[in-house]
Chains A and B, each alone.
Chain A
């Protein structure tokens, strides 16, 4: 062996070393590429999973019912009084319509199976329609109402991979289930009724408007994000109204006025540290100070906004200071030179030039606040809220908390809605960040 290597010329030996070193070089570069690919594939997996799970929630299968709005059932006094209309028994109208479609279902059990086809929320759809237009009383109207979530899931192919809407419609008598009856959400009898309804051409999948107009609900087919979205809007409004003026003023003071002394140093260090405090600690602060000490209402967007203000302030202050720093001193000197006071110089000349940077920082801070969940759990914004909040003092929830609540529900239909709500949340976030990037691109100046 030694004799062999001894015969190699120095050039050959050097070539061998070089080959090894170049191989190491290529390996090292490959590690980097692999790392990036891993990170990006995680991102892609995440998005594919969420979209794959959630796309279905934008479609809801509905059935057309011919409802006779009997005056004796809902408005016996014929006074068309809204209060009386709101309290009337619309469920019986829905039941009657269903029984007339399935005259062969006479036993208690069969009738129950028939009633189960339609969402318990159908009565609200009809109530709203009648209350909007009381002249419908006494007429026969045709309404589209949502199917119950388990039937909706079957038709979407989420329960049994072998069966979906198309298969149900086209299979003649025997539905080609791949799962035994016990593992499906619906029994053979129920499936029979569903198929009958489909054959009559009454069922179709259409855009799920309830998802965008309803508040939370125990029934997946009625649960929507509108309540949470409004809650998020109120919370963000409070956050923006407080954090933007406070953050910008603090940044101006620290950057332009503050003398260099211990106090300003402490404030600076403080702001940097606050930016890294875990968000849940802000929630504890909100619970102890805003709820216990000041006695503000639980679950209110006002308190949520206050907590998120404290949380986003460091982001806004740091971004605003950077924006102020990037305005060249010559602007200030020119303004001071023609006799402006310090404040005039800043308000009239520096601030307009720094504004795009400040707005970018604010939007990024708002995007953070929109996605924040943990501190809001602490101040009780996890309540089950059906009504859409009307003011920042009403109990409400926000989009990320709604996602958290739905993620806990075991039903397949809620998984679908959770993913859909995530898609909406991500959509908002992407929109906000895109605006921030655009602002930066459009107004960024190099001096």
Chain B
């Protein structure tokens, strides 16, 4: 809230700077505007930029740093205080001890001995106490620690407001004093705008970099505990680690082959639905349908692509899966209620518009002359399509199908809602299988510690997913581009 207020103040100052800068240059021009290098507006913008940009940068650095500094001040106070008040009887009965699960016979809480999750809890508790939203029953020294935190934060906020306003005023003042008729204000403003645009274009690169680095970094930590060969080639997946080391099944299994197999199975079923239906409807629309029919049907098919995947997931889980189960029962087959078939079918429906619109594009891109040559030799339309158009369009269609496969592999909600959780290694589409995306969601939703192999495994799976889809996309884009060049 404070931050928003500071931003608003800076913006108001910038507006004032704009008005003042513009007025100053108009006064200096003395009515002869041809004396000015730039229009008065640019001088205004010049002052406003010098006012707002440095102050906003300062704010952007300060805001994330402030709570960290405040917390380290509070924790060092905590350390000192506990050091003095060792053997403190109140620790045992305090809310803090309950929260951190300190053993009954402990007499002190050593900061260095705390695990990272306990430390997180402690930090959260201090923060909550400072905000006045913590649970009650804390020992007096905790109140003190929290008040150190709150005090540091309050002072820092006041300092921040003062510093930002000072920087804004200083920037505006310097820029204001430099406003002269011969100053190249337009060029300077345009340079600033251009740098802003360059910054915006690099966001895409930064995103990719962020994805790659965060996935790699967390995966490395995972592979330090679970060997990469076990992850890639192991056949046993059961990431539910026990909380205590002596429980049964405390090791967990991180062999991801069943997940890869499940993903492939469901994607294959989806493609079995999407490719024939999508391709045939694309051929019909590109070669047979007249433009009025096309104008109605094409948007209708595209509606399928616009429906959120969570809706498909609900449809699969609520309608399709029970239906398949019933059919299976009526002919004596044992169909799981989370069968790969149901999830794959519905995913196929979702992918139909992808296949059809991509194929439609490549089919219409085949030069008309090739069709006419075929008709001239007496071939019927279907013969022309099968013998001439499709072979010519094949690379493009393959590219489109590859893109659709990558979409199927990365699809999450349908499988989360309709596919299973247990990792079965099977090719039977009537059984429940699980996929990479389902496991990522199950591992990361709910309470989690950032350090356990269970959480890190999700990032390793994410890395595999990212690499697979990236490869498929690069190949597909390459194939499609090669194909386009052929006819252009």
Chain A residues with a Cβ under 8 A of chain B: 21-22, 24-25, 27-29, 31-36, 38-40, 42-43, 45-46, 49-50, 53, 245-247, 249-250, 252-254, 257-258, 266-267, 270-274, 276-282, 284-285, 287-289, 292, 294-295, 310, 313-314, 317, 341-343, 367, 370-374, 377-378, 382, 400-401, 403-404, 407, 415, 418-419, 422, 425-426, 429, 433
Residues of A close to B309: CB separation below 8 A: 371, 373-374
| Complex Cα gap A292–B215 (Å) | 13
Contact pattern, B 307-320, Cβ under 8 Å of A = 1, otherwise 0: 11111111101110
For A270, give its contact among B67, B197, B205, B383 (CB under 8 Å): B205
| Complex Cα gap A310–B209 (Å) | 12
Contact pattern, B 188-205, Cβ under 8 Å of A = 1, otherwise 0: 001001101110111111
Interface segment, B79-87, B332-340, B391-399, B470-478?
B470-478
Known interface pairs A278-B412, A422-B311; A289-B469 also in contact (CB < 8 Å): no
Residues of A close to B412: CB separation below 8 A: 278-280, 373-374
Residues of B close to A22: CB separation below 8 A: 380
Q: Could you tell me if A33 and B284 are in contact, using CB atoms closer than 8 angstroms?
A: yes
Q: Could you tell me if B440 and A284 are in contact, using CB atoms closer than 8 angstroms?
A: yes
Interface centre among A258, A266, A288, A317 (most CB of B within 10 A): A288
Task: Determine whether B238 belongs to the interface, using a CB cutoff of 8 Å to chain A.
Answer: no
Residues of B close to A273: CB separation below 8 A: 208, 470, 473-474, 477
Contact pattern, B 384-418, Cβ under 8 Å of A = 1, otherwise 0: 01100000000000000001001101111100110
When C-beta atoms are compared, the residue in chain A nearest to B208 turns out to be A270
For B310, give its contact among A249, A277, A341, A404 (CB under 8 Å): A404
User: Closest 3 A-B residue pairs measured CB to CB?
Assistant: A278-B410, A32-B284, A371-B308
Known interface pairs A29-B382, A249-B196, A280-B410; A429-B308 also in contact (CB < 8 Å): yes
Task: Determine whether B434 belongs to the interface, using a CB cutoff of 8 Å to chain A.
Answer: no
Given A28-B386, A277-B466, A280-B440, 8 new contacts (CB under 8 A): A32-B288, A42-B304, A246-B203, A276-B473, A278-B409, A341-B190, A400-B308, A407-B313
Residues of A close to B311: CB separation below 8 A: 46, 50, 371, 403, 422, 425-426
Q: Could you tell me if A32 and B310 are in contact, using CB atoms closer than 8 angstroms?
A: no
Known interface pairs A32-B283, A39-B301, A277-B211; A295-B64 also in contact (CB < 8 Å): yes
Task: Determine whether B368 belongs to the interface, using a CB cutoff of 8 Å to chain A.
Answer: no
When C-beta atoms are compared, the residue in chain A nearest to B447 turns out to be A380
Nearest Cβ on chain A to B365's Cβ, whole angstroms: 17
When C-beta atoms are compared, the residue in chain A nearest to B385 turns out to be A28
When C-beta atoms are compared, the residue in chain A nearest to B202 turns out to be A267
When C-beta atoms are compared, the residue in chain B nearest to A375 turns out to be B412
| Complex Cα gap A404–B413 (Å) | 8
Known interface pairs A374-B413, A400-B310; A276-B208 also in contact (CB < 8 Å): no
| Complex Cα gap A310–B210 (Å) | 11
Residues of B close to A32: CB separation below 8 A: 280-281, 283-285, 288
Known interface pairs A284-B440, A373-B413; A25-B382 also in contact (CB < 8 Å): yes
Residues of B close to A425: CB separation below 8 A: 308, 311
Q: Could you tell me if B207 and A35 are in contact, using CB atoms closer than 8 angstroms?
A: no
Nearest Cβ on chain A to B280's Cβ, whole angstroms: 4
| Complex Cα gap A280–B280 (Å) | 31
Can you give 23 A-B contacts (C-beta < 8 A)? A21-B380, A24-B380, A29-B381, A31-B284, A42-B304, A50-B311, A247-B200, A253-B197, A267-B205, A273-B474, A274-B204, A276-B469, A278-B465, A278-B466, A281-B215, A281-B466, A284-B211, A310-B207, A341-B190, A404-B413, A407-B317, A407-B417, A425-B311
Residues of B close to A267: CB separation below 8 A: 201-202, 204-205
Q: Could you tell me if A281 and B211 are in contact, using CB atoms closer than 8 angstroms?
A: yes
Nearest Cβ on chain B to A424's Cβ, whole angstroms: 12
Residues of A close to B218: CB separation below 8 A: 288
Interface centre among B204, B301, B469 (most CB of A within 10 A): B204
When C-beta atoms are compared, the residue in chain A nearest to B462 turns out to be A284
| Complex Cα gap A401–B314 (Å) | 12
What's the dominant secondary structure at chain B's contact region? Answer: helix
Q: Could you tell me if B300 and A281 are in contact, using CB atoms closer than 8 angstroms?
A: no
Known interface pairs A273-B208, A280-B437, A400-B310; A35-B410 also in contact (CB < 8 Å): no
When C-beta atoms are compared, the residue in chain A nearest to B356 turns out to be A39
Q: Could you tell me if A21 and B383 are in contact, using CB atoms closer than 8 angstroms?
A: yes
Contact pattern, B 280-313, Cβ under 8 Å of A = 1, otherwise 0: 1101110010000000010011011011111111
Q: Could you tell me if A35 and B190 are in contact, using CB atoms closer than 8 angstroms?
A: no
When C-beta atoms are compared, the residue in chain B nearest to A402 turns out to be B310
Known interface pairs A252-B197, A292-B450; A276-B310 also in contact (CB < 8 Å): no
Residues of B close to A45: CB separation below 8 A: 319
Contact pattern, B 349-375, Cβ under 8 Å of A = 1, otherwise 0: 100100010000000000000000000
For B64, give its contact among A40, A294, A341 (CB under 8 Å): A294
Q: Could you tell me if A257 and B194 are in contact, using CB atoms closer than 8 angstroms?
A: yes
| Complex Cα gap A161–B395 (Å) | 54
Residues of B close to A289: CB separation below 8 A: 210, 214
Task: Determine whether B445 belongs to the interface, using a CB cutoff of 8 Å to chain A.
Answer: yes
When C-beta atoms are compared, the residue in chain A nearest to B314 turns out to be A407
When C-beta atoms are compared, the residue in chain A nearest to B283 turns out to be A32
Known interface pairs A271-B204, A279-B410; A253-B198 also in contact (CB < 8 Å): yes
Residues of B close to A280: CB separation below 8 A: 410, 412, 437, 440-441, 462, 465
Q: Could you tell me if B352 and A249 are in contact, using CB atoms closer than 8 angstroms?
A: no
When C-beta atoms are compared, the residue in chain B nearest to A266 turns out to be B205
Residues of B close to A266: CB separation below 8 A: 205
Q: Could you tell me if B200 and A35 are in contact, using CB atoms closer than 8 angstroms?
A: no
For B469, give its contact among A250, A278, A310, A341 (CB under 8 Å): A278
Residues of A close to B280: CB separation below 8 A: 31-32, 34-36
Q: Could you tell me if A422 and B314 are in contact, using CB atoms closer than 8 angstroms?
A: yes
Q: Could you tell me if B382 and A28 are in contact, using CB atoms closer than 8 angstroms?
A: yes
Task: Determine whether B269 belongs to the interface, using a CB cutoff of 8 Å to chain A.
Answer: no
Nearest Cβ on chain A to B206's Cβ, whole angstroms: 9
| Complex Cα gap A439–B215 (Å) | 40
Nearest Cβ on chain B to A145's Cβ, whole angstroms: 30
Residues of A close to B100: CB separation below 8 A: none
Known interface pairs A250-B200, A250-B201, A425-B308; A49-B319 also in contact (CB < 8 Å): yes
Q: Could you tell me if A29 and B284 are in contact, using CB atoms closer than 8 angstroms?
A: yes
Nearest Cβ on chain A to B420's Cβ, whole angstroms: 14
| Complex Cα gap A77–B417 (Å) | 53
Q: Could you tell me if B214 and A288 are in contact, using CB atoms closer than 8 angstroms?
A: yes
When C-beta atoms are compared, the residue in chain B nearest to A393 turns out to be B1
| Complex Cα gap A50–B317 (Å) | 12
Residues of A close to B314: CB separation below 8 A: 50, 403, 407, 418-419, 422
Task: Determine whether B277 belongs to the interface, using a CB cutoff of 8 Å to chain A.
Answer: yes
Residues of B close to A29: CB separation below 8 A: 284, 288, 381-382
Interface centre among B200, B285, B317 (most CB of A within 10 A): B200
Q: Could you tell me if A382 and B445 are in contact, using CB atoms closer than 8 angstroms?
A: yes
Q: Could you tell me if A367 and B306 are in contact, using CB atoms closer than 8 angstroms?
A: yes
For A284, give its contact among B200, B214, B277 (CB under 8 Å): B214
Q: Could you tell me if B281 and A42 are in contact, using CB atoms closer than 8 angstroms?
A: no
Residues of B close to A53: CB separation below 8 A: 318
Residues of B close to A253: CB separation below 8 A: 194, 197-198, 200-201
When C-beta atoms are compared, the residue in chain A nearest to B189 turns out to be A343
Residues of A close to B312: CB separation below 8 A: 46
| Complex Cα gap A39–B279 (Å) | 11
